């Protein structure tokens, strides 16, 4: 199993709108080959930081989706006026060892 973690930090007052956008997400990724599940979380002491964990059968499945138009389609519901702190944006690639 492969785990991709997208971490970003909202630099303005749109964090509540981002939470709502995730709760109302389009679920298009659910049809992507090799997609397993995803979790979106905020650190308990920082509601402006987002950790988006997506689990995949393997790294190739993630890369295929991440390079495809489906990745862009998945972000059509991005809240207007969203500003990110570029220094806090990270994409981590991890091999799951045990669950």
Binding site for ligand HEM (CB under 6 A): 4, 6, 8, 18, 21-22, 24-29, 38, 52, 54, 66, 74-78, 84, 89, 91
Nearest residue to ligand HEM, using CB? 77
* Residue 62 · residue 14 · CB < 8 Å: no
Smaller CB separation from ligand HEM, 8 or 48: 8
Q: Is 69 exposed, middle or buried (0-12, 13-18, 19+ CB in 10 A)?
A: exposed
CB of 62 to ligand HEM, least distance (A): 7
């Amino acid at each position: 199993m492969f785990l991709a973690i997208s971490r970003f930090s909202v630099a303005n007052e749109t964090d509540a709108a981002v939470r709502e956008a995730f709760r109302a997400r389009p679920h298009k990724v659910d049809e992507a080959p090799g997609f397993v599940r995803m979790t979106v979380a905020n650190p308990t002491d920082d509601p402006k930081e987002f950790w988006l964990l997506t689990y995949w059968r393997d790294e190739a499945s993630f890369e295929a989706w991440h390079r495809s138009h489906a990745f862009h389609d998945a972000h059509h519901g991005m809240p207007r006026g969203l500003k990110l702190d570029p220094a806090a944006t990270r994409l981590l690639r991890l091999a799951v060892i045990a669950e």
